[in-house]
């Protein structure tokens, strides 16, 4: 039987060959200007697209979830855990900010597909509060997606996934939990989520709903650091708590504030967890620069000048020395192609022509060649004195 099947395949190949010959013989001599492969790829993996805000709801007393539908009706493809970049024109500034997608991939691909992102209020650098005050249902917004390799990959990761989250770092795990609950992602997901008080839990209802629906494949453990009313786990995401809920040979995924990452990665190292078993999402620099190790604190509150060369034009702007160069450029209305805002992806790079910068040790993702040639990542570098820099025109 096997031999017959094999011979049938050979016969099939023959038919395909003759069909190809026929197609080539009958083809037009004029090249088809349409690139069909690119068309499909653009539909599946679009660059910047316009979305319409369909719904805005509270995700906690201090955060909101925005639901967006693609204006052209074609939803993007992404993996649970990835992030998107929103574009906002604020005054004369053109700002981009990265947010993890909190809805599940299957929700984007369903009829009337959508994506959601969840934002905490009262954050630095203008955008979250701007969204809160200015974005309404029916508005249009430009979004790039998806980015990052922060998602479960079966060839690399253990099926036993332990998610470690702090604050709004929970959002990529909300996406994963929904995907697991819908039977679209086959992993066992334990979420250890640290908050200060129970009111701070972001997307709590959605996580509970996913946990109930997932038939034992999802476990959510909330840990409160300062909540006398809380009857569950208390304190911080400690070694004891991580060990207690980890199970057999897990892959850890971390998303949360940078200082928390430093703590968690130390704990896991202490536990003997190999580096390949820890995945983390890039995190933007702390709003308060004095929290960055080695930051020249005498520069807090001071300003300097940055001369920006773009093509043949040259502009001099005022800049705060305790803000990343990218933020000063954005404040001056000079667009920067920021994605991760964590120093890792390199999209925001600029060339230092003169002056000195402080490069944050949190996520210094510059390549050796870039460093040697004077390129730096403007989202994670701070002026130490007057600068002259060259930025790409986008």
Give residues in contact with ligand FES (CB under 6 A): 338-341, 343-348, 365, 377, 379
C-alpha to C-alpha distance for 178 and 224, rounded to whole angstroms: 23
Q: Which is nearer to ligand FES, 176 or 348 (CB)?
A: 348
Q: Which is nearer to ligand FES, 207 or 342 (CB)?
A: 342
Q: Tell me how far, at minimum, the Cβ of 349 lies from ligand FES, in Å.
A: 7
C-alpha to C-alpha distance for 30 and 316, rounded to whole angstroms: 52
Q: Tell me how far, at minimum, the Cβ of 391 lies from ligand FES, in Å.
A: 12
Q: Tell me how far, at minimum, the Cβ of 64 lies from ligand FES, in Å.
A: 24
For the chain, state the CA radius of gyration. Answer: 24
Q: Tell me how far, at minimum, the Cβ of 331 lies from ligand FES, in Å.
A: 16
Q: Tell me how far, at minimum, the Cβ of 336 lies from ligand FES, in Å.
A: 8
Q: Which is nearer to ligand FES, 67 or 341 (CB)?
A: 341
Q: Which is nearer to ligand FES, 65 or 148 (CB)?
A: 148
Q: In this structure, how many other beta carbons lie within 10 angstroms of the beta carbon of residue 232?
A: 10
Q: Tell me how far, at minimum, the Cβ of 342 lies from ligand FES, in Å.
A: 6
* Secondary structure, 3-state, 42-58: HHHCCCEEEEEEEEEEE
CA dihedral in degrees (261, 264, 266, 272; nearest 10)? -130
Buried b (16+ CB within 10 A) or exposed e, 77-98: ebbbbbbbbbbbeeeebbbbbb
Q: Which is nearer to ligand FES, 320 or 339 (CB)?
A: 339
Q: Which is nearer to ligand FES, 207 or 336 (CB)?
A: 336
The reply to whether omega before 146 is within 30° of 0 (cis) is yes
Look up residue 377 and give its two tokens: 């990542």
* Secondary structure, 3-state, 232-269: CEECCCCHHHHHHHHCCCCEEEEECCHHHHHHHHHHHH
């Amino acid at each position: 039987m096997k031999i017959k099947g094999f011979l049938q395949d050979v016969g099939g190949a023959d038919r395909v060959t003759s069909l190809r010959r026929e197609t080539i013989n009958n083809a037009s001599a004029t090249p088809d200007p349409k690139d069909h492969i690119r068309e499909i790829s653009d539909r599946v993996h679009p660059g910047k697209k316009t979305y319409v805000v369909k719904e805005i709801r509270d995700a906690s007393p201090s955060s909101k979830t925005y639901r967006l539908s693609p204006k052209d009706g074609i939803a993007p493809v992404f993996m649970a855990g990835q992030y998107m970049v929103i574009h906002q024109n604020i005054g004369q500034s053109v700002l981009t900010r990265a947010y993890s997608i909190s809805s599940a991939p299957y929700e984007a691909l369903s009829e009337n597909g959508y994506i959601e992102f969840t934002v905490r209020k009262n954050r630095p650098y203008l955008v979250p509060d701007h969204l809160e005050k200015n974005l309404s249902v029916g508005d249009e917004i430009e979004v790039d997606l998806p980015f990052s390799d922060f998602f479960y990959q079966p060839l690399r990761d253990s099926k036993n996934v332990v998610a470690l989250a702090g604050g709004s770092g929970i959002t990529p795990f909300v996406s994963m939990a929904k995907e697991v609950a819908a039977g679209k992602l086959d992993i066992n997901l334990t979420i250890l989520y640290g908050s200060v008080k129970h009111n701070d839990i972001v997307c709590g209802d959605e996580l509970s709903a996913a946990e109930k629906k997932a038939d034992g494949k999802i476990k959510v453990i909330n840990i409160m650091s300062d909540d006398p009313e809380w009857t569950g786990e208390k304190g911080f995401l400690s070694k004891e708590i991580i060990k207690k809920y980890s199970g057999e040979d897990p892959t850890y995924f971390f998303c949360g504030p940078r200082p928390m990452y430093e703590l968690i990665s130390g704990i896991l190292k202490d536990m003997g967890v190999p580096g390949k078993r820890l995945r983390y999402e890039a995190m933007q620099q702390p709003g308060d620069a004095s929290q960055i190790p080695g930051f020249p604190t005498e520069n807090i509150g001071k300003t300097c000048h940055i001369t920006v060369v773009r093509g043949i034009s040259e502009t001099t702007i005022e800049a705060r020395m305790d803000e990343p160069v990218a933020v000063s450029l954005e404040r001056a209305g000079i667009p920067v192609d920021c994605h991760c805002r964590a120093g890792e992806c390199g999209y925001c790079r600029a060339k230092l022509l003169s002056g000195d910068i402080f490069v944050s040790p949190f996520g210094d993702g510059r390549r050796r060649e870039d460093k040697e040639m004077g390129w730096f990542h403007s989202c994670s570098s701070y002026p130490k004195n007057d600068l002259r820099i060259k930025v790409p025109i986008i």
